Amino acid sequence: MKIFSWLIPALTLLYSLSCSAAEYRVYSAAGVKIPMLQFASVFNEANSNSKVVNDFDTAGAAEKKFMADAKSACLITTQVRIDKAIKSGLLLGQEPIALVDTLAGLASSSKNKPSIATGADMTQALLSAKSIAFSDPARGATVGLHFQNMIKALGIEKQVMDKAILARDGVETMNLVKAKKVELGVTQVSEIIQSMPSSLVGPFPVEFELATRYSLWCRDPSDPQVLSFISLMRSQWGASVFSGNGLRVVK
């Protein structure tokens, strides 16, 4: 991994911190998996006394796991979910940090990719596909919930669900696409790019566009190690890692 000169100050700060051995558990939506693994790798390499441990799931499941773990450090899920949790009092004391945006889209295991520029195109693509995978809405999957509403609006819910496979999350959806066990996969564009760029068909048509904002909430952002990890994610290098994995950094 190439670390640019302007990242040295951030790494110097990481090296300079000393504290008792500690584990910082970060629960994240699967859409940021590859960037978060990179950030954790750099952080852990620079810290002998503490380490970041990642756990990935759907946006809803990641939130539930974070809430259930009293020793969890940070949560990355949709801004909507974090706002709701703050409003209800489940998250207290800290303001969220907006990180990145991503769009929902389609992946195809076939070389001949369908057009999905319009609602009519999308309808044809979904009806023509022999099999379709998407994240289970019952597990709090942001794209899965949106896709379910979209096929209802298109009037093709039954036809699609008859040949659909409900995946655990976007990672499993893309595994099914890569293994050619399904013809189409529905998930975040970022997950498609991080898993198999050549399979990308494109984002949903404009009338069904889903732009999801992922935000970060930490129990104690003033903790020196947490602060350093946040600084790493928000550095110039961090922005390049996010953008290189199909995520639009929030300025």
| pLDDT single digits (tens) 125-142 | 999 999 999 999 998 888
Mean pLDDT in the chain? 91
Helix (H) or strand (E) holding 89: none
Q: Which domains does the chain show, CATH number per domain?
A: 5-101+212-249 (3.40.190.10), 103-211 (3.40.190.10)
- Phi, psi (rounded to 5 degrees) for 122: -65, -45
How far is 202 from 106, CA to CA, in rounded Å?
Answer: 6
DSSP per residue over 43-87, as a string? HHHH-SSEEEEEEEE-HHHHHHHHHH-TTEEEEEEEHHHHHHHHH
Whether 123 and 157 have beta carbons less than 8 Å apart is answered as no
**Angle, nearest 10°, between helix axes 142-154 and 119-128?**
100
Question: Per residue in 20-66, pLDDT tens?
Answer: 568 999 999 988 999 999 999 999 999 888 999 999 998 999 999 99
Question: Is the pTM above the cut of 0.85?
Answer: no
| Residues above pLDDT 70, as percent of the chain | 92
